[in-house]
Amino acid sequence: MKAAQITSFGTPDVLRVSEIDRPAPGTGEVLVAVEASSVNGHDALVRTGRVKVVSGSTFPIGTGLDFAGVVVGMGPGVQGCRAGDRVWGMVHPRKRHTVAGAAEYVVVPAGRISPAPTGVTAVEAASLVVAGSTALIALRDCVGLADGERVLVRGAAGGVGTAAVQLAHAMGGRVTALARGRHATALRDLGADEVLDYGSTTSDQIGPFDVIVDTVGSELRCYRSRLDEGGRMVTVGLSVRALAAIAASAVHGSRRIRAFSANPDSALLSDLAAHVTSGALLPVVHSVFPLTDIAAAHTAFERGGVVGKHVVTITD
C-alpha cells in the first residue's frame, strides 16, 4: 500500500510516498481504508522535529493526524462497528506512528473512531476531525461558552478558527472574528457578527470579551487583558513563549489562559458528527491535493493566508 512518511526532519521536501505492507489490526483495533486526511499544525510540528520527544527520531515517521474512510477489518474484541461502516477518526497525537492518516490504510484503536457525519464527503469530513474537535473542546469543555456571551476568535480563518466561529455561533455566542480583512465576507457567512482585520487592529482597541479562543499563540498576555470580569481564555497555538504566558496567568484564577491538546475519543467524535449532520458546523475546504502531492499540501499549509483546510485525498 501507499503511505506518506517523513524521512528526516525538515521542510516538506522530506515527505515521501512509500510502498509498504498493509498493517493488520490487533486486539481492539480496526483497519480503515482511508479516503482523505487533512494537514494540521501537529503534522508540521512532527515533520520539523519540534515534537521529537513524542515522535522519536527513528525514521520513517507516518504523517496525517486525522482521516475519513471505511472500516475493512477488525481485530478481536471490537464491538459496535463492522466492515463497510463509514468512519472518521484520529491517530494518537502523543504516540509515534510509522503509518498515520495519510496512507491507503491505517490501524487505530476502535475507541478513536466514530461513524462519520452524514451529508458530507470524505474530503469534507477529514477537514473537520481535528479542527472541529479542537474547537468543540475549547468552547464546550474548557471555557463553557454560555448563550449570549461575547466571543473573540483569534486566527478565525484557519481550520480551528472557522470551526470555532461556527460552533460559537451555534451555542448562542456573539462572535467577533479576528483575521485578515479580505476574509470578512467568508467569516460573516460562517456566523461571525463582527470581523476585525488583525493587520490594523491592536488588542487594546477591542473588547472586553467573556470568552477568547486563540489559535495564534502570540501576545497572549495582551489579549488576556481584554477579558471582562469572569471571562475565560483558551489557546491552541502553543509555543515556548505561549507556555510561559500560560504559566504566568495562573494567578488570575478564572481569567487565566487555558491550554489543552485535542485527543478526542469516540464519544466526542460522535458529538462533533451531530453538529455536522445538523448543519451547525460546515466543512471549509480551501484546496485538495492527491497523496502524491502531500509535500505541496504541507507547503500550502505553511504559507497560510487562506480560509479553511488543505485536504489530501488518498483514493482516486
- For 182, the grid coordinates are 479580505
Beta bridge partners of 113: 89
Could you read off the pLDDT of 90-111 as tens digits, one per residue? 999 999 999 999 999 999 999 9
* CATH class of segment(s) 2-127+283-313: alpha beta
60 preceded by a cis bond (ω within 30 of 0): yes
Amino acid at 166: Q
Note whether 123 and 40 are within 8 A (CB): no
Please tell us whether the domain made up of 130-259 is placed in CATH 3.40.190.10.
no
**pTM (whole model) above 0.85:** yes
What's the whole-number mean pLDDT along residues 254-263?
Answer: 84
* Per-residue model confidence as pLDDT tens digits over 11-33: 999 999 999 999 999 999 999 99
The 3-class SS string of 182-225 reads HHHHHHHHCCCCEEEECCCCCHHHCCCEEEEEECCCCCHHHHHC
Average pLDDT over residues 121-134: 98
Segment 78-94 shows an average pLDDT of 96
Q: Where are the domains of the chain?
A: 2-127+283-313, 130-259
Burial of 205 (0-12, 13-18, 19+ CB in 10 A): exposed
- Render pLDDT for 283-299 as a digit per residue (tens, 0 to 9): 999 999 999 999 999 99
- Output the pLDDT for position 241: 65
pLDDT tens digit sequence for 134-175: 999 999 999 999 999 999 999 999 999 999 999 999 999 999
pLDDT for res 183: 97
| Rounded distance between C-alpha atoms, residue 103 and residue 69, angstroms | 11
- Region at 195 (left for phi over 0; alpha for psi -120 to 50; beta for the rest): beta
SS3 37: strand
Question: pLDDT value at position 190?
Answer: 98
> What confidence tens digit (pLDDT) does each residue in 206-258 have?
999 999 999 998 899 999 999 999 999 999 976 656 666 777 777 677 788 88
pLDDT band at 45 (very low <50, low <70, confident <90, very high): very high
Q: pLDDT class for 259, splitting at 50, 70, 90?
A: confident
Q: What is the pLDDT of residue 242?
A: 65
Beta carbons of 167 and 139 less than 8 angstroms apart:
yes
Predicted confidence at residue 287, as pLDDT, reads 98
Q: Report the mean per-residue pLDDT for the chain.
A: 94
